[in-house]
Amino acid sequence: MRDSLLDYARVAQPLQEAFDVAFSQASRRTKRVASGIAVDLSELERIAYDQMKALLSLSATLAFPREGSTICLLTDASNAGWFALVTQVVHWQQCKEVHEQQHELLICLSGTFTGSQRNWSIIEKEVYPIICACEKLSYLLLRPGDFRLYCDHRNLLYVFTPGIHNKEVKKHIRGKLLRWSMKLMKYRYEIEYIDGESNTWADMLSRWAGNHDPAVSLKVMQLRKRTRDVATGNHQQRKRRRRGGNKPMASSPQQMQVPSPRPQQLRPLDDTEFEWPTFTTIREIQQQHVHERPNSVTGYAEKGLWIMDKLWIPSNAHALVQRLLVVAHCGSQAHRGRDAMITCVRRYFAVRHLRARVDRFHRLA
């Protein structure tokens, strides 16, 4: 069932942690032992349980593998999670890019980095979903023809020759990558680099897989102000402390657990009060700021004002610019960076001082 749940790793994370805590005192991890263990769910875990039930009702439809179809493996990893997506394209069109093909979902895998995995380098985290997919999905990838492997990390193109092309990678990491690459020797595949904008689903779901804020442990120190001794008793008391007497702690650290905040959806796109900027709205705002119209603007007010082939956005329409930046930042890529946001906005709109506006947006985000 989890093979068709696109957001399984993130939603199930609180429930999995509660399951591990409940089984920590059990002798065996079996269904019979689990039936006798009482579990009290917290508010966060109840929310995750309701989200899991809702996710089951929205499971994706999986297709059956077809002979002669082109199998595609798309992988991506973020700092906290990873994702692998296997699709098939029945009629592959050479004139179109991979994200423009007609894909049919076969299976999806996702997970989070835990323990020492969080300290891995970027290239290790990027390779890991490929290895997991090849180990668990050999019945799909091991076929007479080759499959297409897509990744948005260019260094993965040389991961199978780490000693030659990746000399900047540390020696123990090169050894791990070489051992991992040997697991792919039985497959026939063609690896190709795609940019982050084309790797839409894999990038978005890898960030969702780790989209949770772990509990933060704060150490609070209680300091006692030391003054000059007034009585001799304080001096004798300090001498007893040096001899191993009952020494009170000058600072007593206390572990204070800050509970994780309630998981929220992608904001502010999921806000009920958020309105998508439509062409009609942009045209009305253009008419309100028509006195700011630069000389390079062409077109009529009824059909919109354009600069070259892009819609003109008035400089003083701050609310409209903010809404466009929100859409560019929280689109299908979940959280885009500065360059990706600038490329996305410039593709359709002409905004003055766009780079400075995007930088200010990131500082205040």
Chain Cα centroid distance, residue 215: 18
What's the token pair of residue 261?
A: 């905040």
* 214 within domain boundaries: no
Do 17 and 87 lie in one domain? The reply is no
Bridging pattern class, strands 349-351 and 310-313? parallel
- The number of CA neighbours under 13 Å toward the Cβ of 29 is 6
Between 213 and 286, where is the model more confident? 286
The answer to whether residue 17 scores a pLDDT higher than 60 is yes
Reported confidence tier of residue 201, pLDDT bands at 50, 70, 90: low
Domain check: are 92 and 47 in the same one?
no
Give residue 58's pLDDT band: very low, low, confident or very high (50, 70, 90): confident
- Inside any domain, residue 272: no
At residue 170 the predicted structure's pLDDT band, cuts being 50, 70 and 90, is confident
> Would you state the pLDDT for residue 180?
82
Residue 160 has a pLDDT of 57
Rounded distance between C-alpha atoms, residue 89 and residue 85, angstroms: 13
Tally the domains of the chain. Answer: 3
The number of C-alpha atoms within 13 Å of 104 and in the hemisphere containing its C-beta is: 13
Same domain, yes or no: 154 and 43: no
Gap between the Cα atoms of 261 and 352, Å rounded: 38
Q: How far, in Å, CA of 108 to CA of 84, rounded?
A: 6
Q: What is the pLDDT of residue 236?
A: 54
- For the segment 129-135, the average pLDDT, to the nearest whole number, is 90
For the segment 222-244, the average pLDDT, to the nearest whole number, is 51
Domain that holds residue 164: 70-209
Q: What is the pLDDT of residue 206?
A: 47
pLDDT attached to residue 9: 76
| Domain endpoint, select from 209, 235, 261 | 209
CA-CA distance, 38 to 180, in Å (whole number)? 41
Residue 109: pLDDT over 80: yes
Average pLDDT, the chain: 75
Looking at the structure, do residues 181 and 97 belong to the same domain, yes or no? yes
Residues 73-99 have pLDDT tens digits of: 988 888 888 888 899 999 999 888 888
101 and 24 housed in the same domain: no
For residue 127, CA distances in Å to 61, 88, 106, 141 come to 27, 22, 21, 16
Q: How far apart are CA 269 and CA 275, in angstroms?
A: 8
Residue 269 inside a domain? The answer is no
* 192 has a pLDDT exceeding 80: yes
pLDDT digits (tens, 9 = 90+) for 304-337: 888 888 888 998 998 888 888 888 877 544 467 7
Q: Map residue 311 onto helix, strand or coil.
A: strand
H/E stretch holding 317 reads none
Helix pair 318-329, 279-288: axis angle to 10 deg: 150
Residue 10 lies in a domain: yes
53 with 111, same domain?
Answer: no
* pLDDT tens figures, 342-352: 888 888 899 98
pLDDT tier at 258, thresholds 50, 70, 90: very low
- Quote the radius of gyration of the chain (alpha carbons, Å): 28
The reply to whether 119 and 48 lie within a common domain is no
What CATH number corresponds to the domain at position 132? 3.30.420.10
Single out the residue of 136, 109, 115 nearest to residue 6, CA to CA. Answer: 109
pLDDT of residue 216: 41
Of residues 78, 88, 79, 198, the one with CA closest to residue 140: 88
Inside any domain, residue 273? no
pLDDT at position 217, please? 44
For the chain, first and last CA: distance in Å?
A: 37
